[in-house]
Amino acid sequence: MAMSTPSSQAGEPPAAKPTVVLVALWGVSHFAPMVEVGKRLLALSGGHSLAVDVLVVPSPTGKWEAEIFERIRREEASGLDIRFHHLPAVEPPTDYMHIAGIEEFVSRYVQLYVPHLKAIVVSGLACPVAAVVIDIFCTTLLDAPQELGVPAYVFLISSAAMAAVLLRSPSLDEEVPAQIEFVELEGGVDVPGLPPVPASNLPTGLDNRKIPTYKWFVYNGRRYMETDGIIINTIADLEPGVLAAITDGRCTRGIPTPPVYTIGPVVAIAPPAEDKHECVRWLDSQPPASVLFLCFGGGGGYFSVAQVHDIARGLERSGHRFLWVLRGQPEPGTKLPTDANLAQLLPDGFVERTKDRALVWPARAPQKEVLAHAAVGGFVTHCGWSSITESLWFGVPTLPWPHAAEQHFNAFMLVAEMGVAVGMKLDKERSNFVEAAELERVVKALMGDGEAARKVRERAMEMKAACRKAVEEGGSSVVSLQRLHDALIQGAVEPKK
């Protein structure tokens, strides 16, 4: 099988150290945390006890390709002993244009890589193999390590609550008659360890039992039970109730789950840049905790003109300071947002009227640097888990504005379970539209001096303290990572030929 590696590893003898094989998807929000897990495992022993190889699954559309290659280049330049292998391109499922959800597409697409994964593990990597680690919806790849007799783990870049939903889905599917949709269940959906979950807050695809994507949710949840461990990008103290429900088998009808490793937050925090970004320089002139930060993820963040106008009106009427990352619509034939033309998108006179208390930034912004700034007092987020963990790490309360995937479920968790957010009403039938009056209401509720604002701020600071404590010596995430490290070494085997 043809395989290219950007590293200069060709011709070197195989390392004797057990090798952890990370199968990384093309999306940056999946790729970056997976690589970070490898880096943390290496850091435990200075790279003396384990080797890490990353298999890069190519994007079927080319989306994120340039950014992934740039990240690989930076990792290689750092001198860290991680080897990257680019898997060959394969034809996606023939009906991919008609697949309803990304979860179904990923499950079926990566299944085509089972032969390639087997070939690399058998002949292209060092032996013995400590584990093959797959991503959240990639359990079709489990066929490869099972046939080779090597350990396999699943890594969830999302919450323990998401793990609970997936583990619960097979039994839930059996308990609820097939003709009944979850939205018809009185009192919400039962997920042990959580408050009753409104069906409208279930991950997209799991909320509609009539589409094929739903079956793939259940399929992946069932196959988690075949793994040697479940690695989750969370912190034990953030989700104690749901983690207890997972580990004692309440999500799986009393059947013991594989060991669970909570190693989060898997957030790479770089030191502040010497040359400050313009957004950060603007924040330097603002009072502490006075600015509302609006940012909707690296791959999204664009809206219709009608929605932009309602956001602008709501922010202006709120009277509070804000930093708004506003992106433009993608170019034809692409999916990534462009730099915004503010004159075309914003209402007439908006920038002039708000110039003394606001900055609208039309390009990508350094989200982590902004959230770390003392002037930021609130965060309007699309509720991707990476963004949530960053907000928790820096102790910034949120206004959740979910769009798709598991974001509605994450928003529910932030408000109902963690208490670090003020809930916002949005119209799912109108692409999650938020009216100006509603945005004005929640901005005042979060950024004002009322009881609701005080509670979410206090809770956010508690979460910040829990995050920091978890990654200190003896902290829960450090201990869990060490347990994982030891299990990988002890379980290492040579693959069957």
pLDDT digits (tens, 9 = 90+) for 378-388: 999 999 999 99
Reply yes or no on whether the pLDDT at 11 is more than 60: no
Phi, psi (degrees; rounded to nearest 5) at 231:
-100, 125
Residue 129 bridge partners (DSSP) = 19, 493
Position 1 pLDDT exceeds 70: no
Average pLDDT over residues 327-339: 82
Residue 456 pLDDT: 97
Confidence of residue 4 (pLDDT cuts 50, 70, 90): very low
* Average pLDDT, integer, range 342-351: 96
Are 123 and 153 in contact, with CB atoms under 8 Å apart?
Answer: no
Banded model confidence at residue 7, pLDDT cuts 50, 70, 90:
very low
How far CA 403 is from CA of 296, 312, 406, 410, in Å, comes to 9, 19, 9, 11
Asked whether the predicted pLDDT for residue 373 surpasses 70, the reply is: yes
Active site residues: 30, 135
Decide if pLDDT at 65 tops 70.
yes
The DSSP element (H or E) to which 109 belongs, if any, is helix 102-111
What is the average pLDDT across 413-438? Answer: 95
Q: What is the pLDDT at residue 497?
A: 80
Across-strand partners of 324?
294, 360
Banded model confidence at residue 8, pLDDT cuts 50, 70, 90? very low
What pLDDT, on a 0 to 100 scale, did the predictor assign at position 6?
39
Average the pLDDT over each of 109-113, 314-318, 401-405, 460-464 and give the range with the smallest value. Answer: 401-405
What is the per-residue DSSP string for 334-384?
A: --S-EE--HHHHSPTTHHHHHTTTEEEE-S---HHHHHTSTTEEEEEE---
* Residue 404: predicted pLDDT: 87
Tell me, what's the pLDDT at 27? 86
Q: Output the pTM of the full model.
A: 0.92
DSSP character string of 233-284 = SS-TTTSHHHHHHHHTTGGGTTPPPPPEEE-------PPPPSS--HHHHHHT
End-to-end, the C-alpha distance of the chain in Å comes to: 16
Q: How far apart are CA 462 and CA 449, in angstroms?
A: 19
pLDDT higher than 60, residue 15: no
Per-residue pLDDT tens for 163-176? 999 999 999 999 99
Average pLDDT estimate for 225-240: 97
Average pLDDT, the chain: 91
Place of tokens 């950014």: 67
Could you list the beta-strand ranges (E) of 25-93: 51-56, 82-86
Give the Cα separation of 402 and 27 in Å (integer): 18
Question: Has residue 125 got a pLDDT over 80?
Answer: no
CB-based contact 121:129 (threshold 8 Å):
yes
pLDDT at 97: 64
What tokens appear for 157 in the block? 């870049």
CA proximity to 171, closest of 251, 105, 77, 275: 251
pLDDT at residue 10 tops 80: no
Q: What confidence tens digit (pLDDT) does each residue in 431-490 have?
A: 999 999 999 999 999 999 999 899 999 999 999 999 999 999 999 999 999 999 999 999
Residue 192 has pLDDT above 80, yes or no: yes
Q: Are 397 and 418 in contact (CB under 8 A)?
A: no
Give the pair of three-digit tokens for residue 347. 């209402």
